[in-house]
Amino acid sequence: MQITDVLKNKNLPDQTPGDKLRSKQKIVECVTFVRLELYNSDMPCGAKAVRERLEKFYHVKPLPSERTLARILADPLTHGRTGIYV
Q: The pTM is what? A: 0.66
> Please, what sign has the CA dihedral across residues 23, 56, 64, 35?
positive
Q: Nearest Cα to 23, choosing from 33, 15, 35?
A: 15
Torsion of CA 22, 32, 34, 78, to 10 degrees: 160
pLDDT in tens, 40-49: 999 998 999 9
Q: What is the mean pLDDT of each run of 10 residues along the chain (86 residues)?
A: 58 48 81 91 92 91 91 71 57
Computed over every residue of the chain, the mean pLDDT equals 76
pLDDT in tens, 73-86: 887 665 555 555 55
